[in-house]
Structure 1
Amino acid sequence: MTTTTETTAELTPEQTGTWIKGLLSVACADGHFDPEEQKLIASLIQDEIAPDIDIDHFSPVTDAELVAAFGGDRPLAENFLRTAVMVGLANGIYSQSEDAELQRFCRALGLEVDALESLKHTLDGRHDAGEHTLRLLDPVRNWLDDLEVKDAKVARFLCRLIPPQCPFERDITLFGRKIVHIPPLCKLNPLYDQLVGLRFRSLTYLADECGEDITPYC
């Protein structure tokens, strides 16, 4: 499998729209797309990124759309798939429905990504942060780290979707007694560092390459 990830041409408006639609398809796949987050991202899409996408009547990206946008360009298709995987990981849990959507993307684009198999060890949170699990995830960790951000609209979307910091841990109490402890996201998600890295690269691209003010994302 090739490890080349960089593409030289900028995305066309059609490619950008399909890219964002694909990421939204993953974000909505498990039915846990937070309403406030959905409202924020809808505003960003309609105003800045892909105004043709109607998030109130959203339909997942089709196989034909994926092939038209990324077919025949493996580095571009893999970069799209990397961002789609990271969207699936953004809430700390990689679900069966998200995995099914990503596998559909692979089939449509004719990709065989061995690293994705290691993600199955995290399905629905059925994992721990033990050394064995972390070793099993090394292939997908390395594959995700190869991603280079090359499109401003995609970078803005990722900065909105990926949390700016690891959420604080907290205790849930009932009648003055602690009944459950929720650890921070970075402890729940063994690939959290990859999400942070992608967000940082997106911010750096917007600031250094596009000359944008990134304070709204911080």
Structure 2
Amino acid sequence: MTSVVESPHSNQQIAAWLRGLLTIAWADGNFDEQEKASIIAITKDQLAPGVELDALEKITPEELATVLGKHTPIAENFLRTAVIVAIADGTYSPQEDELLHQLCQALGEPEYILPALRQTLTVKEQLNFSALTPPLTHPHDVLHPLRDWLDGLEIEDPRVARFLCKMIPSQCPFERDVTLFGHKIVHIPPLCKINPLYEQLVSLRFRALSYLADDCKEDISEYI
């Protein structure tokens, strides 16, 4: 799959970006080695052809910062997509929270987004983040900066756009099994009912689809 759009990012940066997103996706241990191998193959062959992904393994925050830099636009946009991947299935796990904390520190990005995530998203295994963040009297009041921050994501690379279209569910279902590349992640109730950031997910997916169709002239029927 090729694109008529020339990305402002190098293949090395996109490879690190995708490795970072997969590290987030695998953070809570929902994938076995066979499933990981399948996802790697799909990412390499369908989502990011032309990028050297032979060693598509987990990447440390420090390694990612070496490639993307600190306090850079690409680092901030990566972190936005990392948050999207963490919340795409309607849950926010302690493992994802810790990894995002490490990424914020390594990439030199502010951590104000994390308390809002801890307060508003469904937490796997019913674990309590109260020791990390005090209860909020009006939890939705703190979501506006997070929503604005997520909406600021610049979609400038077709490979990242394809990954987001695969990761984010296409519609708000009554209930469903959330899958990634054909593999079940978790069974959830309606996302629009439990995820206060669902509108940001839908908007981002639409923008990614529009970018692929309008700017990149790609056939997006497989994502609809």
Tell me the TM-score normalised to structure 1 length.
0.78
1:178 maps to which residue? none
- Per-residue displacement from partner, 1:15-39 (whole Å, max 9, x unpaired)? 0000000000111101235999867
Separation in 2, partners of 1:96, 1:153: 28
Determine which of 143, 146, 149 is the counterpart of 1:140. 146
CA contact (8 A) 2:70 2:106 kept: no
Q: CA deviation at 1:114?
A: 1.9
Matched, 1:52 2:58: no
* SS in structure 2 of the partner of residue 102 of structure 1: helix
Q: Tell me which of 112, 117, 120 is aligned to 1:119.
A: 117
Residues 171-218 of structure 1: per-residue CA shift (max 9 Å, x gap): xxxxxxxxxxx6311111111111111111111111111110111110
Give the equivalent residue in structure 2 for 1:173: none
* Residue type of the alignment partner of 2:150: L
Once superposed, what is the RMSD of the aligned Cα atoms? 2.8
* TM-score, scaled relative to structure 2: 0.76
- Give the conservation status (yes or no) of the 8 Å contact 2:27–2:96: yes
Kept in 2, the 8 Å contact 1:77–1:109? The answer is yes
The residue number in structure 2 matching 1:157 is: 163
* TM-aligned CA distance change 1:119 to 1:98, over 3 Å: same
Q: Unpaired runs of 5+ in structure 2?
A: 1-5, 129-136, 177-187
Q: Quick one: distance in 2 between partners of 1:105 and 1:23?
A: 11
Q: Distance in 1 between matches of 2:75 and 2:44?
A: 24
Q: Which residue of 2 aligns with 1:203?
A: 209
- Structure 2 Cα separation of the partners of residues 183 and 160 of structure 1: 20
- Cα separation, partners in 2 of 1:45 and 1:183, compared to 1, 3 Å: closer
Within 5 A, what are the aligned runs for 1:26-175?
26-33=24-31, 41-48=39-46, 49=48, 50=51, 52-53=53-54, 58=57, 60-72=58-70, 74-122=72-120, 124=123, 132-169=138-175
| CA distance in 1: counterparts of 2:22 and 2:201, whole angstroms | 16
